[in-house]
Each structure stands twice: as C-alpha cells, then as structure tokens.
Amino acid sequence: MNIKKALTTVAISFLFPPFLAAQWGVPLKVDGGDIGAEINAAFSACSSNCAVLIPPGTYFYSTTITMTKPSQSLIGAGSGQTVLNYQGSGDGIFWQMQPVTVTKGGTLKGFTINGTSRALNLIHSGSVQNSTWDDLVVSGATGPGANGILLENAVQHGFRCWTERTYMRNVQIGASGVGNSVGLHLLVNGGTKSFAYSDLEVQFNVMANQIGMLVDATAWVYHSIVNLKGNIDSAPASFLTVRGLMNQGYLTLLAEAQGIVPNAIHVSPTGNINASGNAAVLSTSYGATGGIVPPQIDTGGFYSVQPWLALDFPGANTATTQRPMIQTGSRTIKTDGTIVVAQSNNLQGRLILSWPDNGNRMALMILDVACTQFDSACSLDIPVNYSYRSEAVFTNPTIKLTGEAQRIPQLQVTIGNRNGIAQPVIASWYGSAGESPILFPGAALGGTAVALHGLASDGQGNLNFNGMTIIPSTVNGYHGGGVKLQLSDGTGSAGNQAVFASDGSVTNSAAGSAGHATCWKTIGQIGYCSTVVSSAGTCTCN
C-alpha cells in the first residue's frame, strides 16, 4: 500500500450565523492506519458544523466513515488527488442524521471512493436535508444488490424520514469498464415517499446487467431538476429504471449505448415518468448518424417526456403571446365508473383519451371542448370514438359544473368494459397557455348539467348533432351513379332515402320515383326536377 503520511487539521466550517460557538480544529493523523477510524475520531471531536479535510493521497480502509451530525462535511483535495479505497463489506460512508433533524446537511466534495464486489454501499445516505455533493467519483460496488450511492428514506426512532433539496454537481458514478450494480438508488425503507425539490447532475458509466439510476417502488421525485448523461458500455443494462414516480419536474437524459439496449429507459408496471424536458439514448449500432432507442414501458407503466411550452414574454411588449400548451397525464383505472378527466375554469382545447392496447381492449376518444366557468351552454364535439370490435371503453362524455360557488366545468367520461384489466388511461391535452386544465384531478363529480352543442360519433360510428343521429352507420355505397344517403328518424332506424346524382341533383326517395327533387339548373344555380328522376339520376331541371 502506498500510504501518504501527513499531518493536517480538521477545518471547522461555520455554516450558520456567527452567534454559534467557535469550534477548534482537531488534528487528523494520516500515518498509515485505517483512515476511516481516523476520520471518525475527528468528527467525534469536532461535533457538528465542521469539515474534515483529507489531504491528497491514496488511502485504503475498512472502517465505515460515519457522519450523523448536522452540517458535517468531508472534503478532499479533488477527485483526482484524494482517493479512498474501501475494502470492507458494509458501507464505505454512512451519512444520515441521528437523531433526525431538518437542519441543513453538509457537503461531500473532492474525492474518489472505490469499492469491491464485497461492498454493500459506497455511500449510504438519505434522510438528510439540503445536502451538497460535488466533484465526486463513486465506482466499484459491483456485488449483488450493491449501490454506488444509496439515498434511503428510513425510519429513525419511530420518525419517518425524507430526503429533499439534494444538490449534486460534477458527480461521476461508475468508472468506465467497472460501474456499479446500481449507480444511484432512491429507496423508501419505512420513511416517506419524498425525494423532492432536488437538483441532480450526474454522469454514469453502466456495464452489463447494471442500472445507472433506480427510482424504486413508492419513491417520488417531483418538483426537481434531473440531468443525466453518460454511457451504457455493454448490454443488457438500464440507464434509468423507474418503479416509482418522476413527475412535475424537468428531466434531461442523454446517453450513448453500445448496441441496441431495449431497457435503456425502463418503466415498470408501477412506474410513472411525466416530466418536461428531453430524453434520448442513442445506439451506436445504428450507424454514424445514430438512432434513438425507444423506452421500454411495461403494461401499467406511464412515460411522457416532452419540451416545456409556456408563456412567451416578448421584451417591452406588455401583451403576453400565448403558445400552444401540451400536457399529458394518466390515471390507473381499477374499477368501472364515471371519472373527471379534465377540470379548469376555462376548458378550451382538445383532449385525447387512450386505453392502450393490452391484447384485450383498445380504445381512443377525441374530445373538442369549449366551456367556461358559470356557463350554462357549452360546445362538445366528439369527432373520434374508436374501440376495437366496437367494445367501447369510453362512453357518455359530458360536461358538468361543480356544485360549489365557483361552478367550475368538468369533462366527465364513463369508463367500463375493461375485460378485467387494470391499467392507466392516458390523456393528452392541446390548448392555449394559461388555460391548461388539471388532468385526472380526483375531484368529486359535479352534478350541474349544461346544455351541450356539437357533433359526436358514438361507438358504432353514428354521427349525431346535439343527440340527434344524422348519419348512421348504415350508409351504403353507390346507387344509379349517385351516392345513396340513408336518413334516420333520430334513433338510428332506417327512414327515407336520397340519391345524389353525378350532376349534383338529389331525389328524396329511391332513384326514378316521382316528386320534386333538387338539381343543378346551371352551374351554381339550384333548380327542381319537373320530370321523374331517371335511374341515371337525371331529370328536366327548371
């Protein structure tokens, strides 16, 4: 072992206002012993609000470095100069507040930590607030179930902890050719779901059968900025796997994969990614120009990453220019019934509802809606209501107002005929900025009906206006050189016929019957037939 012998001091970093009592530095001997034990002794001596500075060098140790007091920091001379080689079988660094506190966490900065296949976690943290991670390399935790960095929401003394406001910059997880079994693992272990309000900028090297970032079941990353970059050096592997939720935030993911990696972005049946931003894994096997590897979305999972379109403020112009607003959401449906799919003071746009094909059912409904608060008459067009084999999943689309004083319009749809399948309904909204509704708000059903006007197509293909069928699905082809239109009595039952002749004339019954029919007298001028309409659809036009 090449151990650099040195003598340095513990630098006390006052992270709080000046009224805190000063703490003196404690000598840290680097004399060839276990540096983990020496760092722990220094932390014990300086209490909280202190930073242990590790001089340049390469160090081997087996004793877990433990940081359990507020604002303790471990700072090396730089990730290329201070190298910690953990040789134990547990945690290389354990960094959680004990007892739990919401006091600002400290900093890990300026060192490399390497492990072996014996290590459980190189850095075991979480249950810390406002922590800072900078200029770090974390690599080599390659054993079964091992993690480079584990952020864990744990239970401490009966208190359910959370991990929020985590700040990572210039963090490299996994060296090329080594990686970690799981690079960055967000895990709920008895604590709350929240990993929110964070800013993560991380680079990964991922090897075969490894995962770069894992958001585990019930873990929620929301109101956060996540920026992931790096490589999948060999397949099969996953750059990002989500079993929990990444929502209401910004995700940027750009990775290169050696070959086709189907699970490069993997969303499990319990996973949900709904973020603004851009995500792309580029396969080098597609040629010099590259190709994007599509995400793997398991049945029940949801994935949507799209650019954030918002209001545009054009300089000195005080008027706000509105751009189209695109919004996507989902809700897992386990029971039949009527739900609110969109709610807003002003519903103005198009909603596309999709029941994804699962081998049993597939359905799509498009709803064009215009309705505002307190209104008593609204526009609702249903240009498309498709269902495989006419086994409609979406029925009875309507608009109703909430019962409270605000009287907010809700777009309601009944969902049924699922064939016993529980899966997400996916909704995509296209409207104007500033008028974006809440999708699947989980609100109670409003009961105040409004008059609805518009065209609709039912599950059998019948087109109606304000509930009156005008073109039933029994329309049939050509007759006597003209198109025969089957008129309905409003219920879909067959009524009279009309024949449009090739010259534009029309009769109100079967071709050749007596009676006055319209015809083109001259170009652009309608007349009437004074003779019987022939089987060819012609007559003497006056």
pLDDT tens string 227-265: 999 999 887 889 999 999 999 899 999 998 877 688 899
Whole-number pLDDT of residue 376: 86
Instruction: Tell me how far apart the alpha carbons of residues 342 and 436 are, in angstroms, rounded to a whole number.
Output: 9
Band of pLDDT at residue 531, cut at 50, 70 and 90: confident
- State the CB neighbour count (10 A cutoff) for residue 144: 7
Q: Is the pLDDT at 29 greater than 70, yes or no?
A: no
pLDDT at 83: 97
Name which residue leads in pLDDT, 536 or 214: 214
331 Cβ contact list (under 8 Å, min separation 6): 339, 424, 425, 427, 440, 442
Average pLDDT, the chain: 80
Torsion of CA 338, 339, 344, 346, to 10 degrees: -30
Nearest to 280 by CA among 303, 252, 307: 252
CA quadruple 261, 264, 265, 270: dihedral positive or negative?
positive
Q: Report the pLDDT value the prediction gives residue 498, as an integer from 0 to 100.
A: 52
**pTM exceeding 0.75:** no
- For the stretch 56-72, pLDDT in tens is 999 999 999 999 988 89
Residue-level pLDDT at 102: 86
Residue 186's pLDDT is: 98
The candidate with the shortest Cα–Cα distance to 398, out of 447, 332, 325, 346, is 447
Instruction: Report the SS3 class of residue 465.
Output: strand
If pLDDT is split at 50, 70 and 90, which confidence band does 7 have? very low
Lowest mean pLDDT among 128-132, 339-343, 521-525: 521-525
> Model confidence over 466-511: pLDDT tens digits?
655 554 444 333 333 334 444 444 444 444 445 554 444 444 444 4
pLDDT at 339 over 90: yes
Neighbouring C-alpha atoms within 13 Å toward the C-beta of 329: 18
For 75-101, write each residue's pLDDT tens digit.
Answer: 999 999 999 999 999 999 999 988 888
Region of poorest pLDDT, from 2-11, 164-173, 358-367, 432-441: 2-11
pLDDT value for 345: 86
108 pairs with which residues across the strands? Answer: 74, 133
Q: How confident is the model at residue 332 (pLDDT cuts 50, 70, 90)?
A: confident
Say yes or no to pLDDT of 1 above 80.
no
Place of tokens 């060192």: 111
Residues 6+ positions from 252 with CB-CB distance below 8 Å? 226, 227, 228, 277, 278, 279
Per-domain residue ranges of the chain: 50-306, 324-468, 474-528
